[in-house]
Amino acid sequence: MITATLNEYLILSGVLFALGFLGVLLRRNTLVIFMSLELMLVASALALVAFSRYNHTLDGNVFVFFILTVAAAEVAVGLAIIVALFRQRRTIQVDELDSLKH
Amino acid sequence: MTMLSHALFVLLLPLGSAAVIALFLRRAGAIASILSVVTATAIAAIAVILALHPERFEASMEWLRLGDFSVRLGVKYDDLAALMLCIVGIVGLCVQVFSLGYMHEDGAKARYFGGLSIFMFSMIGLTLADNLFMMFIFWELVGYSSYALIGHWHERASASDAAKKAFITNRVGDFGFLLGIILCYWANGTVNLTELGAGHVSSRLIPLLLFCGAVGKSAQLPLQVWLPDAMEGPTPVSALIHAATMVAAGIYMLCRINVLMVPDALTVIMWVGTATAVYAAFCALTQRDIKKVLAYSTLSQLGYMVAAFGLGSLAVDHHGHRLVIAAGVGAAMFHLTTHAFFKALLFLGSGSVIHGCHHEQDIFKMGGLRTRMPVTFWTFTIGVAAIIGLPFLAGFFSKDAILYLAYANNRAVFAVLALTAILTALYMTRLWRITFFGEPRSEAAAHAHEGGPTLTLPLVVLAVLAVVGGYRAHYPAGFEGVFSQVPEAEGTDHLVILLTSLFVLAVGAGTALAFYRPAATDALEDQAPGLYRWLAAKLWFDELYGYYIDKVQQRGAMLLNYLEQIFLAGVIIRGLAGLVGLVGLGARALHVGRLNVYVYWFLFGVVALWLFATGVF
């Protein structure tokens, strides 16, 4: 059985985080940006779990519980905002959501 | 009531009248005028009551304290103040009654009488002031009321210009006055007149700086230019302010600070007064406007008073022992008193003439008024006789006192003052002859008529005063402190002075009677046009000041304005604003409103923070 080392977990976590960040940077759809944000969150959660296992402590796992709880609430609020935004403006493309400036 | 409360009452009464007029009676000219005249009557009555009462007092209270420095307001009521208060009260009453008739048709009567009231307040405050700071406050207030009343007919550009000229010229003198007061306070630690009298630092600079104030207010050389122009104001104002009281305030102030005088300062004062006297007398020779002649005559007489003050003290024999008296104060105040009566009379007489001739002021367009305006003619004649020093009239005695003082102290001044007396007789007789005799030379003069009793009654009262004003022995005892200082010639001096004054009178009046005929043109202009033009140029004072202001001061101001525009407003203020604007422009460029851009900035921030945290920079 192939056992993954800490390095591989952290590399995976970094790749996921980078993907999420690039998604936030480059995508124009608010929903996708939102999903990318979640990906970044999950990437950090993965790193925490990996550290927890490697150190044989539960600290990281406890952190992840909290992160998942907060993330669930955050997703609920964030999605609600996006839905409300869509109802208001009939679009969720960030290029068109520039009324703060114009 | 105590005498002090009388004094406070007489001070505050005209202020109350002015306040009531300004607040409630602006549209009610008739009521305002009556209120003002009633106030003036009360002032005159209280002034006389105060003077007759033997009590003389001083009182003061603190008004302002800044650390060690305190300004007090107070009343110093001595014989000098009593005399001045009576002059202000009596002449003020005559002028206000006269104004009732003269300003009857005026559209802004309330403003006019309010102005007179505030003037009375200021003048009484100046008279009663017990220290130089308080005097300065009222000094500026009389300047203000003079400004307001000269510019009464402000719709005429010449009147508002004259008002500004009077105010600004006075400010020049007042600046010196203020410096003098500050220096006096700095040197002595007090500006209270009585305390200064008890002991003070001897200084040449302080009296000369204080004298600057008198030069401005009493229109002495070289600040005399405003007074002839001030004749743009209504004639009663000219009588009250620019002949009898305010312009005399400079002389009064000098008499108040007599104790500060030192011989060198007195010499300067003497020569300034003498020069003004003779200069103004020459100027008066060529004037065509009846009020301008009187204005220059006033200048000349004020010069007389200043010269008299500058001639200083005199040692006299008094029952066998020598006694030094402040003869300058006595002679100056005596002439101030008689001059106030006869010059107010002459001005009101000219006002009556102007009123009768429908505001014609050119004496060459008058003539024949002797029969048409008999009361004005006779009272004016008394005024002329008094000013040229006809024996037994007011001017004779006071002018003799000055001439005697000059004779005893300085023969050069005596000669110049005697020449001035000749000129005075000359121009006053010229004025009198051309105005009242011959045939009417204009439509207005042909239809001239005497005004009502409000116009003639003050003339009669002042004429009586101009006749009896010289008999100082018969004045109430309350003025003894001043009149005991009047020098009196005895023995051969007396004869010399008497002969001199008769001689100058005969020469001056005789020349005028022989030379000037009631005609439409000036005899001097016809026969000696070069001399006439030279005299009419008045030594180019106005032109000189005009040149200075236009070419020097104005250009300096333009240069400063230019520098201000470039450096202060341009580089510093606009530069700073531009810098801030530039920063704002840059900061605004970051704020584009796109989410992605903000994320890039966020990334940039995180990277920067990371670099910082890892110690890259």
Q: Which residues in chain A are closer than 8 Å to B594, comparing Cβ atoms?
A: 94-95, 98, 101
Q: Summarize chain A as % helix, strand, coil (round to 5).
A: 80, 0, 20
Residue B490 has pLDDT above 70, yes or no: yes
Whole-Å CA distances, B9 to A47, A83, B267: 98, 86, 40
Please name the residue of chain A whose CA is at the shortest distance from the CA of residue B600: A25
Q: Is B1 on the interface with A (CB under 8 A)?
A: no
Please name the residue of chain B whose CA is at the shortest distance from the CA of residue A27: B596
Residue B323 has pLDDT above 80, yes or no: no
Q: Is B552 on the interface with A (CB under 8 A)?
A: no
Residue B214 has pLDDT above 70, yes or no: yes
Please name the residue of chain B whose CA is at the shortest distance from the CA of residue A30: B595
Q: What is the pLDDT of residue B91?
A: 92
What are the pLDDT digits (tens) for B237-288? 988 888 888 898 999 999 998 888 888 889 999 999 999 999 999 998 888 8
Q: What is the pTM of this model?
A: 0.79
Measured distance CA(B135)–CA(B433) in Å, rounded: 42
Q: Which residues in chain A are closer than 8 Å to B592, comparing Cβ atoms?
A: 101
Instruction: Please determine, for the modelled complex, whether the ipTM score is greater than 0.90.
Output: no
Q: Is B562 on the interface with A (CB under 8 A)?
A: no
Determine whether the interchain pair A101/B591 forms a contact, defined as Cβ–Cβ distance below 8 Å: yes
Q: Which residues in chain A are closer than 8 Å to B603, comparing Cβ atoms?
A: 21, 25
Q: What is the pLDDT of residue B15?
A: 93
Residues of A in CB contact (< 8 Å) with B are 21, 24-26, 28, 33, 94-95, 97-102
Q: What is the pLDDT of residue B253?
A: 92
Determine whether the interchain pair B596/A26 forms a contact, defined as Cβ–Cβ distance below 8 Å: yes
Q: What is the pLDDT of residue B45?
A: 93
What are the pLDDT digits (tens) for B388-438? 888 888 888 888 889 988 988 888 999 999 999 999 999 999 999 888 888
Determine whether the interchain pair B593/A102 forms a contact, defined as Cβ–Cβ distance below 8 Å: yes
Determine whether the interchain pair B600/A94 forms a contact, defined as Cβ–Cβ distance below 8 Å: no
Single-letter amino acid code for the residue at A61: N
Which helix (H) or strand (E) covers residue B59, if one does?
strand B57-66
* Nearest-neighbour CA in chain A from B588: distance (Å): 10
Q: What is the pLDDT of residue B204?
A: 87
Q: Which residues in chain B are closer than 8 Å to A28, comparing Cβ atoms?
A: 596
Asked whether the CA dihedral B1, B3, B5, B6 is positive or negative, the reply is positive
> Residue B378: how many CB atoms within 10 A of its CB?
16
- Read off the pLDDT of each residue in B357-381 and give the average, rounded to a whole number: 87
What are the pLDDT digits (tens) for B285-304? 888 888 999 999 999 999 99
Measured distance CA(B211)–CA(B363) in Å, rounded: 35
Residue B523 has pLDDT above 90, yes or no: no
- In whole angstroms, how large is the CA radius of gyration of chain B? 30
Q: What is the pLDDT of residue B69?
A: 83
- Read off the pLDDT of each residue in B117-124 and give the average, rounded to a whole number: 93
Which helix (H) or strand (E) covers residue B56, if one does?
none
Q: Decide if B383 contacts B350 (C-beta within 8 A).
A: no
Q: What is the pLDDT of residue B515?
A: 86
pLDDT grade for A101, boundaries at 50, 70 and 90: low
What are the pLDDT digits (tens) for B441-478? 888 888 888 888 888 899 999 999 989 888 888 888 88
Three-class SS state of B71: strand
Measured distance CA(B282)–CA(B424) in Å, rounded: 9
Q: Which residues in chain B are closer than 8 Å to A92, comparing Cβ atoms?
A: none
Tell me the percentage of chain B whose pLDDT exceeds 70: 100
Interhelix angle B79-102/B29-52, nearest 10 degrees: 160
Bridge-partner residues for B129, per DSSP? B75
Determine whether the interchain pair B594/A26 forms a contact, defined as Cβ–Cβ distance below 8 Å: no
Residues in CB range of A68: below 8 A, 6 or more apart: A45
Determine whether the interchain pair A101/B594 forms a contact, defined as Cβ–Cβ distance below 8 Å: yes
Q: Which residues in chain B are closer than 8 Å to A31, comparing Cβ atoms?
A: none
Residue B111 has which token pair? Answer: 């403003």
Residue A45 has pLDDT above 90, yes or no: yes
Residue contacts between A and B (CB atoms, under 8 Å) = 23
Among B592, B594, B601, pick the best mutation site for testing chain A contact (most A Cβ within 10 A): B594
pLDDT grade for B177, boundaries at 50, 70 and 90: very high
Q: Which residue of B593, B596, B603 is in closest CB contact with A100?
A: B593
- Read off the pLDDT of each residue in B158-185 and give the average, rounded to a whole number: 91
> Residue B164: how many CB atoms within 10 A of its CB?
15
Q: What is the pLDDT of residue B92?
A: 92
Mean pLDDT value across chain B = 88
Residue A95 has pLDDT above 90, yes or no: no
Measured distance CA(B202)–CA(A52) in Å, rounded: 100
Residues in CB range of B556: below 8 A, 6 or more apart: none
Mean pLDDT value across chain A = 88
Q: Which residue of B593, B600, B603 is in closest CB contact with A98?
A: B593
Q: Is B591 on the interface with A (CB under 8 A)?
A: yes
Q: What is the pLDDT of residue A102?
A: 60
pLDDT grade for B64, boundaries at 50, 70 and 90: confident
Q: What is the pLDDT of residue A100?
A: 66
Q: What is the pLDDT of residue B372?
A: 86
What is the DSSP annotation of B353-367? Answer: HHHHTTS--BGGG--
- Read off the pLDDT of each residue in B213-233 and give the average, rounded to a whole number: 89
Q: What is the pLDDT of residue B175?
A: 93
pLDDT grade for B558, boundaries at 50, 70 and 90: very high
Determine whether the interchain pair B603/A21 forms a contact, defined as Cβ–Cβ distance below 8 Å: yes
Whole-Å CA distances, B593 to A94, A98, A101, B341: 10, 5, 5, 87
